[in-house]
Amino acid sequence: MSVVQNDVVKSEKIEPWKINFKPMILGLLAITAIMLTARWYQQWAAWDYGLDASDPLFDVYWMKVFWAQLIIEPILFFVFVGYLWLTRDTHLNQLSKREELNKMMFWISMLVVYAFSFYFAGSFYAEQDASWHQTVVRDTSFTPSHIFLFYMCMPVFIIIGFSLFFYAITRLPFFAEKISVPLLLVVCGPFMLLPTVGYNEWGHAFWLMEEYFTVPLHWGFVFFGWSIIALGGLLVQILGYMSSDLLPKVLNEKGELTS
């Protein structure tokens, strides 16, 4: 009888809490692979086929990439966002604290992927684009740098950002109960970089402005780009909630999960 009871106790023992870094690592590797592949393609095709938008080879090597992006990325956006909304948890009040903690940690790890993807649009490819325009004459709005900066990098972080937003409001009680201003800024601020692209390109075509960082056409990029700093406020909200409400109800004195 005692042996049976011991076996039951062992089977009910809860494993110590561990953070699963695999989704974050896979996300970072996927973003890195996409961006490095795009950079390799630029190095291979930009100078030979990307200097003249009227060249038929430009259509072959660059406009086909552009049209593929315009087809694939909206589909991915609606697939991810639609899936998260259609499969939303309608009984979040019944979610256990242990499951909520797991979902929260997964979501935080995906914020790292989001910030990493934003770096390529806000820094690497953005700086590269300015260098390209200062070296090569801007003939159209579709250049080897634009096609990857505006129509790849920005949609990538927009897809990830809105997916994280809908994950939060459909699976995390803390964000489902009320609107988080930092979360809105983190997602909607960088998203506004894409509409700013239209104004920027119209201004360059209408006024034939030089590619200086300080021209008013670029102010929107700075303002909305800096909205990513709201990640700091979002993390303060998350840490405050986890330390005051979530973790004390989930972890015992030994740091093991209790529920």
The model's pLDDT over 18-68, given as tens digits with 9 standing for 90+, comes to 678 899 999 999 999 999 999 999 999 999 998 888 899 999 999 999 999
Phi, psi of 51 (to 5 degrees): -90, -20
pLDDT of residue 81: 96
Give me the mean pLDDT over the 98-119 stretch.
Answer: 92
CA-CA distance, 227 to 224, in Å (whole number)?
A: 5
Which ranges of the chain does DSSP label H, i.e. alpha helix?
2-12, 22-49, 56-58, 64-86, 97-119, 125-135, 144-148, 154-171, 173-176, 181-191, 193-207, 219-226, 230-241, 247-250
Q: Once rounded to an integer, what is the mean pLDDT over residues 222-251?
A: 87
Q: Name, in order, each residue with C-beta under 8 angstroms of 241's C-beta and a sequence gap of 6 or more.
A: 174
Q: Residue 154: what pLDDT?
A: 94
Please tell me which residue, 181 or 97, carries the higher pLDDT value.
181
- Indicate the residue type of 207: W
Task: Output the pLDDT for position 94.
Answer: 87
What is the model's pLDDT at position 12? 44
pLDDT at 253: 42
Pick the CATH number of 19-250 from 3.20.20.370, 3.30.460.20, 1.20.1050.50, 2.130.10.10: 1.20.1050.50
Average pLDDT over residues 169-195: 92
What pTM, to 2 d.p., does this model score?
Answer: 0.86
DSSP string across 219-235: HHHHHHHHGGGHHHHHH
- Quickly count: other Cβ atoms within 10 Å of residue 144's Cβ: 25
Q: What is the mean pLDDT of the chain?
A: 85
CA-CA distance, 252 to 259, in Å (whole number)? 9
The pLDDT tens digits for 138-155 are 667 888 999 999 999 999
Q: Which position has the token pair 């670029």?
A: 218
Domain residues of the chain, as ranges?
A: 19-250
The rounded distance, in Å, linking the Cα atoms of 180 and 169 is: 10
The percentage of residues in the chain with a pLDDT greater than 90, rounded to a whole number, is 52
